[in-house]
Chains A and B, each alone.
Chain A
Amino acid sequence: MKARRPRKAAGMTERGYAMRFSAMLLLVFSLGGVSLFLAFYVILTQPFPPTYSGVYFALRNLSAFLVPMLVFSMLAYALLLSVAVAILCGIAFHKIAGPLYRMERALENYESGESIRAVFLREGDQLVALADAYNCFLTRLREGRRDWLAVMEHAERLCLQDADTCRAERIDALVRLSAMLSRYR
């Protein structure tokens, strides 16, 4: 897993990410349109019969033939494009679903009571702000815990002196500790 580098993106997703997805959609719809045109072109360039009546009946038959032809071609078009867009969605939303999955695992790790780890995203992942906010929250809590324990350990060091000083320092430490803990609500 690569360590994430700082990025300039201020939003939840990068601007380039939306642009890339839009470009891919444009490509898919263009290819779909061209394929559909080619399919119709092949059907509609079948030559008419050489006789007058032949052309007349060919035109009338084509009108009747148009409904099943359109239904079939549209179903094929919708199916192919849906599959293409589904693959595109899978690739594109993987960059969003991945960080969400990692966040879920991180929170499960948080709940488990084991050593808590920060969230690191892969290169190109979105939702950087969410992972940064979680890591910042963890850092702030760890800093807080370090300060609380530092207050208690400072009092313990002074316990090497006489018992009265020890008790007084511990009481002082408890007052400070209580004040520090009271900011959490």
Chain B
Amino acid sequence: MALCFAVVILLVAALFAWFFHRHAKVTLRVASLQGHYHFLFPYEILGTALTRHIAALSAGGLAASLLVFMVIQRRIHCGVERLVNVFRLSVEGDLSTPTEPPGQPELTGLGRKIDAARSRTLSRIRAANDEAKLLLEEPLSEEEFARRWDALKHILQRIVP
């Protein structure tokens, strides 16, 4: 992120140098050819242009940096919004829709971890459901039924311990 800002600053500084140099070169040449030198310092020749160019540099650099910040913030916002929506879907029972968040790589990695956690939870819930169905459908002896009943409870207890 800081690299994006550094590139912007370098670019704006290069533009400043280019335009100020072009302007100053012409102004100094014209001044040297005037013949009557009524100035004591070079600042009297270049001061106005320098102030104007530095103001433009600061304003341009600030605007470009704010734009970069907004873009980064927007990317983070979109990615996090997707993650939040996935958690909301999960609350409603949807544990299989992939997260796939857009934006920053950090959010993509987090999305993969969230998917892994949801997938694991879903597999445990499915295992519990399969066990419940098996207990319902299979003709089991009392001992076997009691053993599997306890196993089912154990599976349920392992979900979000």
Contacts and interface: CB of A to CB of B under 8 A. Distances in A.
B10 A78 contact: yes
Contact of B61 (A81, A114, A134): A81
Given A63-B25, A145-B159, A137 B54 contact: no
Q: Give the residue among B5, B25, B153, B160 with the most A Cβ atoms within 10 A.
A: B160
Contact of B58 (A32, A56, A78, A82): A32
A40 B47 CA distance: 9
A67 B42 CA distance: 15
Contacts of A62: 28, 42
Contact of B65 (A25, A141, A183): A25
A144 to B, nearest CB: 8
Contact of A107 (B62, B77, B94, B117): B117
Given A63-B25, A63-B32, 18 more contacts: A30-B58, A32-B58, A32-B61, A44-B46, A52-B37, A59-B28, A63-B28, A78-B9, A85-B2, A85-B6, A93-B1, A107-B113, A107-B117, A111-B120, A129-B84, A152-B153, A177-B132, A184-B122
Interface of A: 11-13, 18, 21-22, 25-26, 29-30, 32-33, 36-37, 40-41, 44-48, 52, 55-56, 58-60, 62-63, 66-67, 70-71, 74-75, 77-78, 81-82, 85-86, 89-90, 93, 96-97, 100, 103-104, 107-108, 110-111, 113-116, 127, 129-130, 133-134, 136-138, 140-142, 145, 148-149, 152, 163, 167, 170-171, 174-175, 177-178, 181-185
22 contacts: A13-B76, A21-B69, A22-B66, A25-B66, A29-B65, A44-B47, A45-B43, A59-B32, A66-B28, A70-B21, A85-B2, A97-B106, A104-B110, A127-B80, A134-B87, A140-B90, A145-B160, A149-B157, A152-B152, A170-B135, A184-B93, A185-B122
